[in-house]
Amino acid sequence: MRIFNFSAGPAVLPEAVLEAARDELLDWHGCGMGIMEMSHRGKDFTGVIEAAEADLRALMGIPANYKVLFLQGGATLQFAQIPMNLLAGGSADYVVTGSWSKKAFKEAQRYGAVRLAGTTEAGKFTALPAAADLSFDPSAAYAHICTNETIHGVEMFDLPAVPAGVPIVADMSSHILSRPMDVSKYGLIYAGAQKNIGPAGLVIVIVREDLLGKAAPTTPSVLDYAVMAENGSMLNTPPTFGIYLAGLIFKHLLAQGGLAAVEQANIAKARLLYDAIDGSGGFYRNPVDVACRSRMNVPFTLADGALDAAFLAEAAERRLSGLKGHKSVGGMRASIYNAMSIDGVRALVELMQDFAARKA
């Protein structure tokens, strides 16, 4: 019996996708071997990666003048790879709204001039900066944001107003494919796979073509977006199994009705959980400003932190896993990505209500 897995990542994957991958593990489509065993340059795998890109383009409405790259190293490597490719001797602006954008800002400083355009750290990353608190350089090579902060549970539903001509670079790791997004508003989107896309190790980069070819001369070829685009993400051996599994998930989401349908399911799950928190009479609390509460990552605390261990123990008894909050903020965190069912959220809410009734 499978558990309800609320882990922030690697995270729960659709059971139907896992079953399909299991059935094809030893023999993919009658070819006598699995995806992990076949040449990445053979026609079979070429078809897999081409289908995965086509389905991702369909899901997200990716314009033709954007390249889709299937890379390795996870989103954290992108903290360095982005300035290597885009800074081009200029400067870049970073908006820091949580732990991950803070790490991206720190890493980028190794590669050139980087400005802090705004931060909410003084408020413990519980809100987004007001427009008046943001300062962008109109000559910046790009402006970097994290549209969903996994640890602090803050999500951007509207983009900051950057100067015309400054490309927005967005870390969407923990909410990509959770709702429709207008790709044309971004210069580059990147996302680690281990939330809504597939297994850890794969990272998706969606980059506008005019931003290619600007890499610093010292950039290794394998980290140069232009080189990887020219080689169809296969300058070296790509993460073949991760790409295959991502392709299955893309087809799974399309079969559900696409991202508009996925968004409605995610709204329902998030509303159910936030209503339980807000309706607990203060026994549970979510610190994030209501306007920017994440639909994917829901941190919450108990009124008495001494009860945390008991809550987690009862959660384990009910087969609810991955609820312990990040060490930097404490408390609890429920990550309710696409593959988390409404039944899983209901099971968590039932525990929360029962626990509060006995412990309040």
Residue type, 89: G
Active site residue 171: yes
Closest CA to 75 of 221, 241, 194, 233: 194
Which amino acid is located at 124 in the chain?
A: K
Tokens of 270: 């998030």
* Helices and strands, number each (H, E), in the chain: 9, 14
Residue 28 annotated to the active site = no
Structure token pair of residue 337: 């990505």
Catalytic residue, candidates 55, 171, 269, 324: 171
**95: phi then psi, degrees, rounded to nearest 5:** -105, 120
**Token pair for residue 322?**
């991955």
Residue of 55, 67, 100, 214 marked active site = 100
Question: Is 43 known to be catalytic?
Answer: no
Closest C-alpha to 168, from 191, 190, 193: 190
> Choosing from 67, 102, 195, 269, which is the catalytic residue?
195
The string over 136-155, giving b where at least 16 C-beta atoms fall within 10 Å of a residue's C-beta and e elsewhere, is bbeebbbbbbbbbbbbbbbb
As annotated, the active-site residues are 100, 171, 195
